[in-house]
Amino acid sequence: MPRSRVFLLAALVLAVAGHARAAVLREATGLVQVRSAGGDSWRPAGKTPRPLGEGDGIRTGFNAKARVELSGGTVLVAEGNAHVSVEVDAPGHTNVHALFGTVRLIADAPRGRAVSVRTPTCVVRARGERVLVRVTVAGGGNTTVEVEEGVAGVEDNRGASVILRRDQRIEVDLAGVHEPTAAPTPVQARKTDFMALMRRELGFELGRDADYAAAARETRRAEREQGRLLTDADGRRVRVEEYVVRPAGNRLALVVMNGRPEGLSYYSWDGTFDSALPVDLSGVLSSLRGGVSASAWTVTDFTMTRADGVGALTEKGSGGHQVDLNGNADPLDDVAGGGTAFRTVFDRYGLYADGVLKRGFSGVNLQAYSDAAASTTNDPLTGAVLGAALPVVVINTTFPDAASARQVRRESYGDGTAITRETLSLEFGGGAGPRTGFASPDRNAEDRTSFGGRTIKVVLPSDAIGATRQLP
């Protein structure tokens, strides 16, 4: 064979070998855990270098760091309290899924290769010869993208896209991409990161039973740091991650993320209170369910979201104040058992499917929702004039199974659309529990929201269910 052909074949073999190299965990500093694709448990990363396959997940603890080399010279650095997974790592395409925390992507000379980072609310794509981009995913999937070098494209779940250049940043949430701004200085970035890490470390515990609260506290803390594996109503195992963030002294954000083979879904509740919250949040969280006396903390505003990265159902309320439902003039909202029953009532409320208002109401110092005025041509929260009048809606709530703890709430709209929300109280081993256990505070629950031809399923730990009681 001619020497030129030998050199050519050797070059091709080396090139293919270089591109075919699998992802490798090169460095692991601090607590770094790895979960194999399809696996149920996280294990210490162990010695490096360690090969990674498509679908493998990486999780870092407080102040930890993991460095992953991907094909084509791409490098991913996961900072402290991050959760990422390798979705695709092929010669022409590399994609990483960032579920939470901060990651830095360094793409060296892509030359036509597709290199991207996917988050719950957007996709970040490297463009050009060399790109350094920093991606931070916070509660509710809210994402901040900062370009340190080169050019990156950011596309939200609605199809809108923006090109970012060096020293530019942008925020993306369920409403879509915002306007680009100047990136913070290194000192400002470090300060922001530190505050975010501190907030992430603020956990909470709620005992299922008073007799076992003390013993359960340490176990629940370990579960929250490591995530947990729960069984849904269909008997399928679901990876559940739960976080609490304090964006301000009087504000609390709760995020529950579910990992399933078909993808990620999550639930978030962000509430503002009328006074500063204590260090111990157990009393605050338990008060969200209501009680026989008025709580010391009143939720004045909230945003609740159920999403799967494709679409989202969002509920917003404002003007919250506590009302004794058993003492108002509406007998239909009475709470069983008699006596006083305080709940938070909101003067303004809106339900949005993929950002579009479906229904809402408003009032002044409402004592019962039956006194509210239904929204027709204006947004109940902003007052903005709608493009068209809202259709009439009929809401029916049923318990279709006499024996099981399953409630179905169907909203049928005059325009032919519908929203169905199914709530199931789960047995500890999986499956729906008995009817007597519905809405029990010591049971996990599964929330299934169907609209627009798809269903968002979220398994909620027992200590997160109280926030769902804010539904008007």
Q: What does the pLDDT look like over 371-395, one tens digit per residue?
A: 999 999 999 999 999 989 999 999 9
Of all residues in the chain, what percent carry a pLDDT higher than 90? 38
pLDDT of residue 364: 95
Residue 214 has pLDDT above 80, yes or no: no
Kindly report, residue by residue over 54-101, the tens digit of the pLDDT: 889 999 887 789 999 988 888 999 998 899 999 888 777 888 999 888
The C-alpha angle with vertex 187 and arms to 183 and 189, in degrees rounded to 5, equals: 45
Q: Where are the domains of the chain?
A: 18-197, 202-470
User: Does residue 200 register a pLDDT over 80?
Assistant: no
Residue-wise DSSP of 151-184: EEEEEETTS-EEEE-TTEEEEEETTEE---EEPP
d(CA 469, CA 472): 8
C-alpha dist (Å) from residue 85 to 23, 157, 330: 11, 19, 51
Residue 133: Cβ within 10 Å count: 26
At residue 292, φ and ψ (nearest 5 deg) are -80, -10
Where do we find the tokens 């949040």? 281
- Strand, coil or helix: 120: coil
Mean pLDDT of 435-443: 66
User: What is the CATH architecture assignment of 18-197?
Assistant: Sandwich (2.60)
Per residue in 161-180, pLDDT tens? 899 998 899 999 888 888 88
Torsion on CA atoms 39, 45, 51, 54, rounded to nearest 10 = 30
